[in-house]
């Protein structure tokens, strides 16, 4: 660290900058100077209106230089650039706070697991150090400018080594919509409003945005026949979800209490849990999804920390006529700010649209604040029986749908099970995904008195099924 940088850091108090929105309940992530909406960065692109990665965001991911033999390494998105944290550590820019130094050193590896395992104090210290070093006028600019790489010159990897993956079912609107299609007389099963429903998925087939998804093959039972057949899925679908990356884990047999749950959550991402609906309809009873889900899931490259999401917290409520949560799933802090306002969008682009130069077409939108079960409730319920979570584990929120028809987070809902086709700008229609279709999810957060931050996007393209005769 240069003498000028050291003097600047020693004379600048932690609360030197005014806060934007008021300070929140300290039992969940509090606001601090990194959230100040007036902050600007010396990385010019971070200051442009509508940019997903202003200085108030600072999400983490794993990248390498495209078309190179370089190893993947941890970086931070700032504007249209990536700050290479291995290079930043070597520059000496973060030799101040012990926590920040340890956290930066933990980023000099290919994945986020080591950083995730350090816990919230280290995450927050690194975020503060990054915020200060990337601010307009920061003396660290000379050291860090050579550590930047344009995002369009990078390729990305799944940000963490995901040991285990659990998919939940937290949208009551999605659960009801699907239930009406499958069980018109009994759409919502009685346990749904009492506990977060989930199943253990397959982590090995989780890929990063840009993933090519081959249409899966499995047993399907066609309508009106008496025996199943091995065939390519004809009802391939997407599921608009939010992914939850776990940070520091818990010991086997020791549950995580609700109000401590977010201390074990590193951050959130966008998540597409591809689904073969015809396969699912035949296999899901009595044990639930299997081959209909395990062929592919796709995460966005960037992990948005819970601290970055603090300004967008909202009250979480349960309708008066619904069962109120059991005590281990309820608290004052949860009621005050357990929900997170994340606007979500789904776009679809067919091969014909790409050929015609047509951009992806928005087919639906929803918001994560409408989830029936929250992030902390998912973690608390997952561990109440003693299950041990580990750093890098991923939880899927389940499909996020709203109450309105255009807020459905899957084609299964939008097309009413294939009975109501969607129209695309190319003149094509869709009930389920066709080969060559590209699905894009986007998400962002906005609130009065806070900067707009985004999640980037997660995209994937459908490839034809392999030959059954090969």
DSSP string, 171-190: -HHHHHHHHHHH-TTS-S-T
User: What pTM was computed for the model?
Assistant: 0.93
Is 165-463 in CATH node 3.90.850.10?
yes
- pLDDT at residue 27, as a whole number: 46
- pLDDT at residue 20, as a whole number: 34
Active-site residue set: 174
The overall average pLDDT reported for the chain is 93
- pLDDT at residue 23, as a whole number: 34
The structure tokens listed for 148 are 């930047």
CATH of domain 3-157: 2.30.30.230
How far is it, in rounded angstroms, from Cα 52 to Cα 363?
21
Whether the domain at 3-157 and the domain at 165-463 fall into the same CATH topology: no
- pLDDT at residue 2, as a whole number: 41
Of 153-162, 373-382, 460-469, the least confident: 460-469
Q: Cα-flanking dihedrals φ and ψ of residue 107, to 5°?
A: -90, 0
Is pLDDT above 80 for 82? yes
Is pLDDT above 70 for 11? no
Is pLDDT above 60 for 321? yes
Tell me the domain boundaries of the chain. Answer: 3-157, 165-463
Mean local confidence (pLDDT), 204-216: 97
Mean local confidence (pLDDT), 304-314: 98
Q: What is residue 135's DSSP assignment?
A: B
Q: How confident is the model at residue 468 (pLDDT cuts 50, 70, 90)?
A: confident
How far is it, in rounded angstroms, from Cα 5 to Cα 25?
34
Length of the chain: 470
Give Dmax (Cα) for the chain.
79
Q: How confident is the model at residue 470 (pLDDT cuts 50, 70, 90)?
A: low
């Amino acid at each position: 660290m240069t003498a000028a940088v050291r003097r600047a850091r020693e004379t600048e108090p932690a609360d030197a900058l005014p806060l934007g929105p008021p300070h929140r309940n300290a039992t969940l992530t509090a606001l601090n100077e990194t959230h100040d909406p007036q902050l600007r960065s010396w990385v010019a692109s971070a200051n442009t209106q509508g940019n997903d990665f202003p200085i108030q965001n600072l999400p983490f991911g794993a990248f390498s230089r495209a078309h190179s033999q370089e190893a993947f390494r941890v970086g931070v998105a700032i504007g249209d650039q990536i700050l290479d944290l291995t290079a930043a550590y070597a520059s000496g820019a973060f030799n101040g706070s012990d926590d920040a130094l340890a956290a930066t050193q933990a980023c000099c590896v290919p994945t986020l697991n080591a950083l995730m395992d350090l816990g919230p104090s280290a995450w927050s210290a690194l975020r503060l150090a990054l915020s200060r070093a990337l601010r307009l006028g920061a003396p660290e600019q000379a050291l860090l400018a050579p550590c930047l790489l344009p995002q369009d010159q990078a390729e990305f990897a799944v940000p963490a080594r995901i040991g285990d993956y659990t998919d939940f079912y937290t949208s009551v609107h999605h659960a009801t919509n699907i239930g009406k299609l499958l069980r018109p007389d009994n759409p919502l099963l009685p346990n749904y409003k009492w506990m977060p429903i989930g199943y253990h998925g397959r982590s090995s087939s989780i890929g990063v945005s840009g993933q090519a998804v081959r249409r899966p093959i499995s047993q399907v039972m066609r309508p009106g026949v008496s025996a199943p057949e091995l065939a390519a899925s004809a009802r391939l679908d997407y599921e608009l979800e939010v992914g939850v990356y776990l940070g520091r884990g818990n010991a086997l047999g020791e549950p995580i209490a609700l109000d401590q749950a977010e201390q074990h959550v590193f951050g959130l991402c966008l998540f597409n849990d591809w689904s073969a609906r015809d396969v699912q309809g035949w296999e899901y009873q009595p044990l639930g999804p299997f081959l209909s889900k395990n062929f592919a899931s796709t995460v966005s490259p960037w992990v948005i920390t819970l601290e970055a999401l603090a300004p967008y917290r909202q009250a979480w409520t349960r309708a008066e006529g619904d069962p109120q949560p059991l005590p281990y799933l309820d608290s004052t802090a949860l009621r005050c700010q357990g929900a997170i306002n994340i606007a979500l969008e789904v776009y679809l682009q067919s091969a014909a649209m790409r050929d015609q130069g047509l951009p992806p077409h928005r087919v639906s939108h929803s918001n994560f604040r409408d989830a029936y079960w929250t992030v902390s409730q998912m973690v608390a319920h997952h561990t109440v029986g003693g299950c041990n979570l580990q750093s890098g584990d991923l939880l899927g929120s389940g499909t996020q749908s709203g109450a309105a028809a255009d807020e459905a987070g899957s084609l299964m809902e939008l097309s009413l099970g294939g009975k109501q086709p969607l129209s695309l700008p190319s003149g094509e229609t869709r009930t389920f995904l066709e080969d060559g279709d590209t699905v894009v999810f986007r998400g962002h957060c906005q609130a009065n008195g806070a900067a707009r931050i985004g999640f980037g996007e997660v995209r994937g393209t459908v490839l034809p099924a392999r030959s059954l005769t090969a």
